[in-house]
Amino acid sequence: MRSILSVLLGGALALAGAGAACGGDDAAEPSADAASADAAVEAGDANAGGHDGHDAGRVDAGPPPIRCTDEELAANDKTDGGALVITFLNAANPRQYENRCATVKVGASVTFSGGFAQHPLQAAGGDSPNPIPYVAEDQPGDELVVTMPNAGTFGYECEFHPTLMFGAIRVVP
């Protein structure tokens, strides 16, 4: 009986000690880093407070904004029927898409070329419905062809590296 009581008492003391070690957390002032992260979240920085915004504690505010400017979209104008090929690495290292911002006509085919297992493609903001599919598996010949069926501006990004790999396609009639 005495040994059971010793074990129970020892466990209770260990818990009380752990509580005392953490007990001051509630009363302590937030650190400058925590305060600045909170301010960044309130200011709309999706990446504040956690990796790529996953732990930021924000309520989903809808799709992210298009991250190509009108000038960037116009500079890569493929409305003359020129092929739009958006390339990215097959390796795990993130690097921005090449030809990431462009303008094409309705019905144009856009080719994404790279390693989809390393850099899963996903729609990211813009008009709806976004014709850019979620693709997380490597494709035959490392290429995915997407036909742009309707006018609008459609964002896309790498699921794993959304702050480093992103773009948009403007589709005009």
In this predicted structure, the answer to whether residue 162 has a pLDDT above a threshold of 50 is yes
The CATH 2.60.40.420 portion of the chain extends over 70-172
Query: CA nearest 157: which of 75, 94, 82, 83?
Result: 94
Q: Tell me: the pLDDT tens digits for 76-120? A: 999 998 899 999 999 999 999 999 999 999 999 999 999 999 999
Query: Is the pLDDT assigned to residue 57 strictly greater than 50?
Result: no
pLDDT score at 2 = 47
User: Is the CATH number 3.30.360.10 carried by domain 70-172?
Assistant: no
pLDDT of residue 60: 61
126-160: pLDDT as tens digits: 999 999 999 999 999 999 999 999 999 999 999 99
Give the mean pLDDT of 12-26: 39
